[in-house]
Structure 1
Amino acid sequence: MSITDKSSQTVKSADRVLDIFELFGEVEARELSLMDITRQLELPASSVFKILQNLVHRGYLDKDENGKTFRLGYKIFQIGAKYAQQTNLTTEFQYIAGQIVSEVNEAVYLAIRSDRNILYIAEKQSTHHVRFISHLGMKLPLHTTAMGKLFLSAMTDDDVVQLYREQELGLLTDHTISDLKKLVGQLQEIRQAGVAYSEGEAVQGIRCVAAPIYNANQELIAAMSISIPTNRWKEDTWSQMTELVVQGAKKLTSIQYYQAT
């Protein structure tokens, strides 16, 4: 085989990998089988199978327990989170979050939705030794976090029920909401209040308050939260944190609006 032939083969393999990623981005289904992919891309099953196994091994795809269906993996979202760091949203977040930390010295986070999870894309930490430490690209289930509940509250109750139709609400702590009816009821309260709370539901001993961030079309695109360990929790501090996160989220929403006009 000539050098030209080898080069062509390498590019062809890369194209197939990219075709697979683009297919996941185009179809409505979150999971695809080997046959789904080979049929829609008109590729040989043997070649696609080897590519899928490599992508699973590298974390770019996940497969179900039976190894029959595949979906996008955590590595894709980590890369997306790093890209998001370069956007104006995360740049402005750092400035606003810095002001909040200087006032209350508690950690501030920014997250977007990733399927049934939130994906942390930015943070500003406090100087306390005892604190909740996230990392960029970390994912937590929507129903366990204040920011995640905001994304669920933007959906209709029927859509929320449909989202969890085939999956139970997983437990991360003793305080995690495990009853779908209770979750739906809490989402109704969040829609009225405009803010969401979590009390040790994702991380034991950590309370969070979150507010929504919208784009110019009034679509929920991100959420901002402040976290505090329960041993530092005070009612007056909690009220101050709620006001700060709401105002911070409104500032970020305003920035999205003016950038679009």
Structure 2
Amino acid sequence: MSTTDKSSTTVKSADRVLDIFELFAEAEVRELSLMDITRRLELPASSVFKILQNLVHRGYLEKDENGKMFHLGYKIFQIGAKYAQHTNLTTEFQYIAGQIVTEVNEAVYLSIRSDRNILYIAEKQSTHHVRFVSHLGMKLPLHTTAMGKLFLSAMSDKDVVELYREQELGLLTDQTISEPEKLLEQLKEIRREGVAYSQGEAVQGIRCVAAPILNANQEMIAAMSISIPTTRWKEDTWSQMTELVTQGAKKLTSIHYYQPT
């Protein structure tokens, strides 16, 4: 095979990979089978199968328990998180979070959704020795965190039930919500109040309050939170944190996404 032939093959393979990613991005459903992909892209099943196995191996796609359905994998979201670090959202977050840390000296976080998890994309730490320290790219289950429950509250109850239809609510601590009915009840409260709380549900001894960041269509695209160890928790501090994170999230929404009509 000539150099030209190899080059053409490489470009064709790259195009097919990108076609698959774009198909998942545009599909109305979260998961697609091999036959779904081959039919929609009009590609040979044998070629698509090899590409899918490669993407699964590299973490760009993941398979369901039966190995027949595919969905976007963690690697896609890690890359998205790295990209987000260089956007104005994270730049402005650092400024606003810095003001919050100056006022209450507690850690502030920014996250996006990654399937059934939240993905940490930015943080501003407190100066306390005792604190919850995340790392960029860390993921925690949606139902265990204040930011994650915000993302769930943006969904309908029907969609939340469907999301966990074949997966139990896993436990991270003895405070983690494990009953779907209890989770749905808490989501109603979050929708009513506009903020979410976590009482040691993801990390033992850590309380968290979070507020949503919206886009121009009033859709939630990120979440901002403040965390505090229970050893430093006080009612007046908690109220102040709730106010600060709410105002901080509104500022980020206004600066980057809100467009008056």
Q: Which category of TM-score, normalised to the shorter sequence, fits these structures?
A: over 0.9
CA–CA distance in 1 between the matches of 2:97 and 2:259? 20
Query: 1:165 maps to what in 2?
Result: 165
CA–CA distance in 2 between the matches of 1:59 and 1:20? 14
- Give 1:144 deviation, angstroms: 1.0
Aligned residue identity for 1:175: Q
The 3 A distance-change label for structure 1 pair 257 and 75 is: closer
- Give 1:107 deviation, angstroms: 1.0
Aligned residue identity for 1:121: I
- Give 1:257 deviation, angstroms: 4.8
Query: 1:107 maps to what in 2?
Result: 107
Deviations 1:202-229 (A, max 9, x none): 1122110001222233222221100112
CA–CA distance in 2 between the matches of 1:215 and 1:64? 31
TM-score, length of structure 2 as denominator length = 0.92
Query: 1:146 maps to what in 2?
Result: 146
Counting matched residue pairs gives 261
**1:207-246 map, 5 Å:** 207-246=207-246
**1:1-261 map, 5 Å:** 1-257=1-257
CA–CA distance in 2 between the matches of 1:12 and 1:217? 37
The 3 A distance-change label for structure 1 pair 15 and 180 is: same
CA–CA distance in 1 between the matches of 2:244 and 2:254? 15
Deviations 1:79-119 (A, max 9, x none): 11111222222111110001111222211011122332222
CA–CA distance in 1 between the matches of 2:45 and 2:159? 35
Aligned residue identity for 2:235: E
The 3 A distance-change label for structure 1 pair 162 and 46 is: closer
- Give 1:230 deviation, angstroms: 1.8
The 3 A distance-change label for structure 1 pair 35 and 257 is: closer
- Give 1:259 deviation, angstroms: 6.4
The 3 A distance-change label for structure 1 pair 166 and 67 is: closer
The 3 A distance-change label for structure 1 pair 257 and 25 is: closer
The 3 A distance-change label for structure 1 pair 171 and 255 is: same
CA–CA distance in 2 between the matches of 1:78 and 1:69? 21
Is contact 2:214–2:258 with CA below 8 Å preserved after alignment?
no
- Give 1:167 deviation, angstroms: 2.7
Deviations 1:151-179 (A, max 9, x none): 22223333333333333222222111111
CA–CA distance in 2 between the matches of 1:40 and 1:258? 36
CA–CA distance in 1 between the matches of 2:128 and 2:161? 39
Q: Secondary structure at the match of 2:118?
A: strand
Aligned residue identity for 1:154: A
CA–CA distance in 1 between the matches of 2:224 and 2:75? 23
Aligned residue identity for 1:42: E
Is contact 2:144–2:201 with CA below 8 Å preserved after alignment?
yes
Q: Secondary structure at the match of 2:120?
A: strand
Aligned residue identity for 1:176: T
Where in structure 1 are there 5+ consecutive unaligned residues? none
Aligned residue identity for 2:146: A
CA–CA distance in 1 between the matches of 2:215 and 2:34? 37
CA–CA distance in 1 between the matches of 2:56 and 2:84? 24
CA–CA distance in 2 between the matches of 1:3 and 1:166? 49
Aligned residue identity for 1:206: I
Per mean C-alpha deviation after superposition, the further-off stretch among 21-30 and 36-45 is 36-45
CA–CA distance in 2 between the matches of 1:13 and 1:160? 36
